[in-house]
């Protein structure tokens, strides 16, 4: 059975996105747009426009929870910037859309990629013996001192031995 290939007369715009602790910023890369439709609800973003007799349409099921009432958008002439506040401040989104499949039209902004502090490598001149210097570099104040382990005669586990013997 030979089925014809599915063809759509709708195009997908290129979308560059980045995030902060508070907001997700989308840059819809289309120049000289005068009219467009943008709708954002709790779970998805709908965008459509017509430019040079080409129809553009995109639906994004958002990865995380958002606050649609506080969303803002701005047409800069080169692109449309959409600011979407996160409902859970500080939550890092692994991707923009809920689907696990990669969308070739949606990419993260390479200029805004940040590596969390806990993932950063140790400096090359790090001396493992200098723990005090390590604490100062990482602003660690409350580290419990090492307590020598006690011998078997001081163990609290002996109390429980009478219950299980």
- CB half-sphere exposure, 37, CA atoms < 13 A: 10
**Mean of the per-residue pLDDT values of the chain:** 82
The confidence score (pLDDT) of residue 158 equals 61
Considering only residues 134 and 157, tell me which one the structure prediction assigns the higher pLDDT: 134
Considering only residues 125 and 81, tell me which one the structure prediction assigns the higher pLDDT: 81
Query: Per-residue pLDDT averaged across 20-45, rounded?
Result: 93
CA distance 162 to 165: 6
CA distance 138 to 120: 12
The confidence score (pLDDT) of residue 140 equals 77
pTM for this one? 0.66
Query: Per-residue pLDDT averaged across 141-165, rounded?
Result: 60
Does position 75 have pLDDT exceeding 90, yes or no?
yes
CA distance 84 to 121: 32
Does position 10 have pLDDT exceeding 80, yes or no?
yes
The confidence score (pLDDT) of residue 163 equals 58
Phi/psi region, residue 66 (left: phi>0; alpha: psi -120 to 50; beta: rest), is beta
Q: Where are the domains of the chain?
A: 10-110
With pLDDT > 70 as the criterion, what percentage of the chain qualifies? 75
The confidence score (pLDDT) of residue 105 equals 92
For 10-110, CATH number? 2.60.40.790
With 0-12 / 13-18 / 19 or more C-beta atoms within 10 angstroms meaning exposed / middle / buried, residue 94 is exposed
């Amino acid at each position: 059975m030979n089925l014809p290939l599915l063809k759509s007369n709708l195009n997908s715009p290129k979308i560059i996105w980045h995030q902060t602790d508070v907001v997700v910023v989308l840059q819809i890369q289309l120049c000289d747009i005068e009219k467009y439709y943008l709708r954002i609800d709790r779970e998805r973003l709908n965008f459509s426009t017509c430019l040079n007799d080409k129809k553009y349409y995109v639906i994004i099921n958002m990865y995380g929870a958002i606050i649609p009432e506080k969303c803002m958008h701005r047409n800069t002439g080169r692109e449309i910037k959409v600011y979407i506040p996160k409902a859970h401040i500080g939550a890092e989104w692994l991707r923009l859309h809920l689907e696990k499949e990669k969308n070739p039209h949606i990419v993260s902004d390479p200029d805004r990629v940040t590596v969390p502090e806990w993932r950063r490598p140790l400096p090359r001149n790090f001396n493992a013996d200098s723990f005090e210097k390590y604490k100062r570099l990482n602003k660690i104040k409350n580290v419990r001192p090492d307590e020598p382990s006690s011998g078997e005669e001081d163990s609290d586990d002996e109390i429980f031995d009478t219950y299980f013997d």
